[in-house]
Amino acid sequence: MMIDTDLEILDHESSRLLKLEAAQKTIPFKKVLIANRGEIAVRVIRACHELGIKTVAVHSTADADALHVKLANESVCIGPPSPTESYLNISSIISAAVATGAEAIHPGYGFLSENGSFAEICGQCGITFIGPKARHMRLMGDKAVARKIAIKYEVPVVPGSIAAGVSPEEALVEAEKIGFPVLIKAVAGGGGRGMKIVHSADEFTRLFEQASREVEAAFNDPNLYVEKYIPNARHVEVQIIGDQHHNVVHLGERDCSTQRRYQKIVEESPAPNLSQTTRNAMYESAVRLGKSIGYPTCGTLEYLIDPRDEKFYFIEMNTRLQVEHPVTEFVTSTDIVKEQIWVAAGRELSFKQEDIKFTGHAIEVRINAEDPYTFAPSPGMIEGYHPPGGLGVRVDSAIYDRYKIPPFYDSLIAKIIVKGRDRDEAIKKMRVALSECIIGGVTTNMPLLKKILEYDQFVLGHVSTKLVENLFEEEKRKSAEEFSKQDLANNLTQLPKAA
């Protein structure tokens, strides 16, 4: 009788523990710290709250009144305004996570999101880094190493140097082998920092040394490599997501060709005027590369496409969440941030490749607090704010009326994303959204975005990395013609009248 009773107690306890374990798995983590600011911190906080996860915001003294601080369950000040003393301060961020009992850290994009050392330190402290492993960052974060891996797995790359370095003499030898024009690029970082188009050997050394200084200041890594420059190229990227169970799927492509100074300002999915044959080949190469390195989270493989023959070339991989991820979420009806959190907790992907269905067309514009033509930053107090709305309109932002935009960080203040049944409807919807949007008190790039949405090359889908440059040149030509007409009219009025 005693043995039976003991067995019943053990069975009851075992059942209780199994139920408790199952209940705990209904949320991936109890508490997550978001090691970022601005709209992406708000985006991650919302995803966590929808999953039932408590959140911790970190902030500099300049961001004490920021929206992500107000929305999080807890907040911790991690330093003064300078990013190096706050959002890049690993010890302060880890201390905040330990002090608040955060089980995981989401890095957002930028700052520490692709810092392998940070991911390793998180693991050493028993904190889950919501992103790839340090080895994935080191493999794919170094563009020269990523090129070698791509070549190994037969993913086409732009003709260029295999090795990277700081010697302009050695790089010039490679450039002459490739043939001018060439592109000088940074091994580390992104955002177009240090990128230089070189048309001849005469200017190569000067531009190489200038680029090296720029990237050393930005990324603490002066190494550069050289690749063939493709004029009027399209910039198209493929979104992949994997898990810790060797599953990797793609979520389609995004066209990011519309850029200013190598910074994306308009993104869309699907890419216009691209054959399905090329799309499928890009998808297959992206998934193959992701599987070859056992990639366990969301990432983006970026390609250049030569519009003359639709040949595509892998250029780099971003081992993090992208700014433009919402356009993919719109056309695939997925939540990339939630999926990223779940796979970090060890769960398999909630969908297979055949489950992904593409519908409609989505466009995103980035609203920056900057002069639309000189691109000079425009920090300051927002005096009047009205975001657009309506069916198929989404705004990802961290601003509000009377919010003071600090001068210490990136100028991105909002993203408007729209979805239409097709590209034509999406363009019309974005035009209306931009016309409704009010951001007073600061200068923004909205006038430029409105012109892009009306520009013939964009409307027809003839996009390239030269589109904004072409728009500016066309405006200059029209202004010159108008000036000439006005000057002629003035001269005619000054002619003496006939007697």
Report whether 273 contacts 299 (CB < 8 A). Answer: no
> Cβ contacts of residue 169 below 8 Å, gap of 6+?
205
Place of tokens 């496409």: 305
Chain centroid offset of residue 213 CA: 24
**C-alpha to C-alpha distance for 173 and 161, rounded to whole angstroms:** 10
Provide the 3-class DSSP secondary structure of residue 283: helix
**C-alpha to C-alpha distance for 61 and 92, rounded to whole angstroms:** 13
**C-alpha to C-alpha distance for 97 and 129, rounded to whole angstroms:** 11
Report whether 364 contacts 417 (CB < 8 A). Answer: yes
SS3 letters across 20-72: HHHHHCCCCCCEEEECCCHHHHHHHHHHHHHCCCEEEEEEEHHHCCCHHHHHC
**C-alpha to C-alpha distance for 261 and 190, rounded to whole angstroms:** 12
**C-alpha to C-alpha distance for 261 and 331, rounded to whole angstroms:** 28
CA distances in angstroms from 398 to 248, 405, 412, listed in the order given:
32, 10, 10
Residue 363's Cβ-side half-sphere holds a number of Cα atoms within 13 Å equal to: 27
Residue 306: CB atoms within 10 A of its CB come to 15
Report whether 400 contacts 330 (CB < 8 A). Answer: no
Place of tokens 């050392």: 117
**C-alpha to C-alpha distance for 364 and 396, rounded to whole angstroms:** 10
Q: Give the helix/strand (H/E) hosting 436.
A: helix 423-436
Active-site pick, 254, 320, 394, 423 = 320
- The DSSP line for 95-145 is HHHHHHT-SEEE--SSTTTT-HHHHHHHHHTT-EESS--HHHHHHHHSHHH
Strand 234-242 vs strand 248-260: parallel, antiparallel, or unpaired?
Answer: antiparallel
Hey, what are 133's tokens? Answer: 């492993």
CB burial readout 34-51, b (16+ within 10 A) else e: bbbbbbbbbbbbbbbeeb
Is cis: bond before 407, omega within 30 of 0? no
Whether 16 is a known active-site residue: answer: no
- In one-letter notation, the amino acid at residue 271 is A
The residues assigned a catalytic role are 320
